[in-house]
Structure 1
Amino acid sequence: MRYYSFMNTFSNNKRIAKNTLLLYFRMIFMMLVALYTSRIVLNTLGVEDYGIYNVVGGIVAMFGFLNSSMSTTTMRYITYELGKGNFERLKVVFNTCQLILGIISVLVVVGAETVGVWFLYNKMQIPVDRMDAAFWVFQCSILATVVLIMSVPYNAIIVAHERMSAFAYISILEVVLKLAIVYLLLFFSVDKLILYAILILFVQFAIRVIYKVYCNKHFPETHAIWVINKALIKEMAGFTGWNLFGNIAAVLSSQGLNILLNIFFGPVVNAARAVSVQVQSAIIQFSSNFQMALNPQITKTYAADDYKMMHKLIGRSSKFTFFLLLFLSLPIMIQTDFVLTIWLKTVPDYTVTFLRIMLCTTIVDSVANPLMVAASATGRVRLYQSVVGGILLAILPVSYIILETGGDPNSVFIVHLIFSVIAFAVRLFIIRPMIKLDLSEYMIILGRIFMVVCLSLPLPLLYHYYRDNGFVDFIITCLLCMSTVSLSVYYIGLDRQEKGFAYSRIQIILQKIKLI
């Protein structure tokens, strides 16, 4: 007898809708503040210092692949044990995660203070008069990374318990504190780059303390127990080890490319990438919030051997994620110049092209994410991570070769997009037998996605081609994009059951709004 009855499934859908609504409230607020903050920080620090802050922090992030791997492991094991209802085992898992992450923190510090410092002084393109500031930014970034690493189990336990309200409120507090930092920069005459790095570190530490206090109060499994389970450590280390391939690839395709751009073109191009990342992050928040509400259910349904429900969740997550991102990103990709000009006083060179290509890559990766969650849920990731990780690892050396032979900065992002598409196709074929996925059903989903794109693009593109980029034309373009995408999704993208699912979610949201 399956664990999930009809009533449990209905309850799960209500929980998903409620959590999604909370996360969207969080996301909208955070997105607006983050976009405003990045504009002020760019103008306060200047293009060069803004680029230095992002690329120097990227060096530390290069050592974060261990943390990324362990984050995936932590989320999988905690959610899986919750799905099984084994709370004694859950307590052991949580504390084992803390132990492993403590070891990882030490490794990150050692690596950053040796290899990282050498790389900073010998390979990075940073003006001599800003090298001291870059060093202190580097030190603050190391400490901030350690704080984030040790926060992983607490974030995972909140998401696994689907307490999205706490997650949303703490995240909002974090972004408010970062907004306050921006204004503090205006009142001090010291080196603003160093001060900004120190204040960001303070915010990370304060949020880490809040997460710990909340989890200790609400989740008994987070209370410290000094038990070393060697078998569990070995199991989790093995799972983490194979995840290293994918996470190293993710780090290299992000921060690795950022450092590569610095080596070939200097910090001004890093500033262009940083601005593009801000917009990309704002857009991706929509999909990540939707998927954050679904991901625990994907793992729990696998733990309950409910493959049918698991497949539905994967399909809906992929499809709705794509439609949501297309709805949001299409006006920005068409009117990129206008959006950046309105948002920023100074738009760094290459930002327009960077942003367009990065948004395309984001859409591909976000649609593939449910497959990655499903692979992690099985615990059998050796083949998956070795093959997909191997494909993504090729992004950095291929980009280096292209730049070495005279390629421009845009070329590295084109390479990233091409390899992301290849990796998506490979993921699909590898994951199919692992979760008994009907490939023909998933191909129907991709077919609907393709048809929606074909029907959504022509009218907005034609209008943009024949009209100037003024404010009125921007509004009309946005309306055309939203109309064509919405109609295409409704009539082509969704089947009858999904239309009912979407309608019920809208009804719940409207009821919530009426209660406010």
Structure 2
Amino acid sequence: MAITVGLSLYTTRLVLNALGVNDFGIFNLVGGAVMMLTFLNNSMAAATQRFMSYTEGSGDLEKLKTIFNVSIVSHLAVGGVVFMLMELIGYILFDGVLSIPAERIEAAKWVYQFTVVSTLVTIISVPYDAVINAHENMLFYGIIGILEAVLKLSIAIYIANSTHDQLITYGLLMAVSTVFTLYIRRIYCHRHYSECEIYLRKHFSKPLFKEMTSFAGWSLLGSSTSMITGYGQGILINTFFGTSVNAAQAIAGQVNGQLGAFGNTMLKALNPVIAKSEGAGNRELMLKASAVGNKVAFFLLMIFYIPMLVEAPFVLKIWLDNVPDYTITFCQLALIRSLLEQLTITFSSSISAVGNIRKFQIYSSILAASPLVITYIFFKYEYPVYALYIVLITYTIMSSVVLIYFTHKLCGLVIEEYLKDTFLRCIVSFIIVICCAGIITYSMNESSTRFFLVGLTTVLTYSIAVYKIGFTINERALIRKNLKYGPILTGKEPKTI
């Protein structure tokens, strides 16, 4: 992840310089469907992974093979539907909806078609991502992540020196790299995991197909609403403010995504544990893993986000030669929203593990549609563009309340314990650390020395605040035991247990 983050941030700098602000904005507006459907892909993979991890908890290999075959069929069907929808949507978008300079319309259409192809391949490959997640194979994810980062860097260097249309070339090569890495996942899974055996006549079950389709359908309702809302916000920004502000939004997304990579990797390892615990009938362990997961996800992001929050102007000037307007504000607000999300981020996995997701997805979908409507009203009445992120932060808070309620109702979460042991400890730790970092920022002029001192202060105060305030007495005892006996490094339990 460390290698991937460094390469990805440098790649963004090269791509922005090569394409220019407007073409970079066009790619992220039109190719935003890739990001949108990456989110859809993750949601669908989570639905398939839930059944695989749950079944692994019960140890039924034959059922795992059936689940894999059923998921292959269902995702082929979904891929076909999405392909037709994207072609229809593309026709509508380029018929007067998107605000793109006339001379770049043709290039934008090519980028969109490359997006359609890579999206189709991504959806079809979802079952393989689910298998890797279910087996908690973080080593393979690390290798694939580095490979993807190296490919993107190579593409960025190539287009910086290309004499062809750089936007079209970039779109084509990004699609090729997506297909290539997904094909590697497919080969790896068939060679290493026995459940990856495509034999529909032997391993297909209509009752299981109906059960998985019903579950995936409700999951798809929630993820599709969020997906449409997310992409719609990019279109609203484009309509009211133009492609240069789309570029600022894309850079904020890059910063947020790359700095949050460590937390996302931790969640990939934790989600199978949640589902397997429920599959094995251990509800107590499932809830404990979920509650601690929220806390650790928050703390993993906090150590990276706080220096960026207080030093965003300095970092962006160093990172990018040309910083688009609104980028700094977008980055700071996006980071705050992402931190708030971590406080309840694993609860959706707990609800999915239990399996009764219909009401939860209905409420979540209704709530997820609200930011798009409210943002449109704000922009219509000439509110500033950063009002979008204020709306998103408000939505995140409301969404967290819904998650806590349904985790309590469906899984038995004790809300008072969650607020005391997770929420308050995270918020207090955050306030202490950011205040200490902020004192350095406001007492010195902007410089590399100040940035270094902010980072050093953050690490020191973070270590004390998180250990003493963020973790409970039992959690601190577990940390000390791990440090003393080293079970995390050796994979062995200490002799005293």
Shorter-chain TM-score tier = over 0.9
Question: What do the CA deviations read for 1:141-199 (whole angstroms, capped 9, x no partner)?
Answer: 00011111122111110110122212221222122112111122134200011111111
Contact 1:60 1:138 (C-alpha < 8 Å) held by counterparts: no
Letter in 2 for 1:488: A
Which among 375, 380, 385 is matched to residue 361 of structure 2? 385
Gap regions ≥5 residues in structure 2: 491-497
Q: 1:66-94: CA deviations, max 9, x gaps?
A: 64543231111111111111111111111
What is aligned with 2:466? 489
What's the TM-score, normalizing by structure 2?
A: 0.94
The corresponding residue for 1:441 is 417
Cα 1:237/1:510, change in 2 over 3 Å: closer
CA contact 1:62–1:256 (8 Å) conserved in 2:
no
Corresponding residue for residue 111 of structure 1? 85
AA partner of residue 293 (structure 1)? A
Residues 349-498 of structure 1: pairs in structure 2 closer than 5 A:
349-444=325-420, 445-498=422-475
1:49 counterpart residue number: 23
Quote how far apart the aligned CAs of 1:271 are: 0.3
Equivalent pairs, count: 486
2:277 — aligned with what? 301
Cα distance in 2 between the residues matched to 1:130 and 1:292 = 39
Distance 1:139 1:348, change over 3 A: same
- Contact map agreement 1:329 1:359 (CA 8 A) in 2: yes
TM-score by length of 1: 0.90
| Structure 1 residue 170 corresponds to structure 2 residue 144 | yes
Q: CA deviation at 1:137?
A: 0.2
1:476 to partner: Cα distance: 1.0
Cα displacement string for residues 464-497 of structure 1 (whole angstroms, at most 9, x for unaligned residues) = 1232111111111122222222211111111122
Task: Kindly indicate whether the alpha-carbon contact (under 8 Å) linking 1:69 and 1:247 is maintained by their aligned counterparts in 2.
Answer: yes
Q: Give the RMSD, CA atoms, in angstroms.
A: 1.8
Task: Confirm whether residue 33 of structure 1 aligns to residue 7 of structure 2.
Answer: yes
Q: For the residues of structure 1 that align with 2:84 and 2:56, how far apart are their CA atoms?
A: 35
**Structure-2 separation of matches of 1:172 and 1:506:** 29
Indicate if the aligned counterparts of 1:330 and 1:481 stay in contact, CA closer than 8 A. Answer: yes
Which amino acid is the alignment partner of residue 176 of structure 1?
A: V
Distance change >3 Å, CA 63–CA 438, structure 1 → 2: closer
Cα distance in structure 2, aligned partners of 1:352 and 1:502: 37
Aligned equivalents of 2:360 and 2:182: distance in 1?
A: 32
In structure 2, do the counterparts of structure 1 residues 251 and 506 end up closer, same or farther at CA, with 3 Å as the change threshold?
A: farther
Structure 2: distance between partners of 1:297 and 1:415: 33
Structure 1: state its 5+ residue gaps.
1-26
Percent identity over the alignment is: 32
Larger deviation: 366-375 or 414-423?
366-375
Greater displacement, 112-121 / 318-327? 112-121
**Residue in 2 aligned with 1:259?**
235
Out of 88, 96, 99, the residue aligned to residue 73 of structure 2 is 99
Q: 1:120 aligns with which of 88, 94, 119?
A: 94
Task: Check conservation: 1:65, 1:244, Cα contact below 8 A.
Answer: no
Instruction: Give the counterpart letter for 1:84 in structure 2.
Output: S
Residue type of the alignment partner of 1:128: A
Q: How much has 1:234 moved relative to structure 2?
A: 1.6
Matched, 1:502 2:479: yes
What is the alpha-carbon distance in structure 1 between the residues aligned to residue 464 and residue 375 of structure 2?
A: 39
Q: Deviations over 1:197-222 (max 9, x none)?
A: 11111111111221111111111211
1:216 aligns with 2:190: yes
| Counterpart position of 1:275 | 251
Deviation at 1:59, TM superposition (A): 4.0
Structure 1 residues 41 and 334: alpha-carbon distance in aligned structure 2, compared to 1, 3 A threshold: same
Residue 235 (structure 1) shift: 1.2
Q: Are 2:69 and 2:198, in contact at CA under 8 Å, matched by a contact in 1? A: yes
8 Å CA contact retained: 1:302, 1:310: yes
- The aligned residue for residue 245 of structure 1 is 221
Which stretch shows the higher mean deviation, 166-175 or 500-509?
500-509
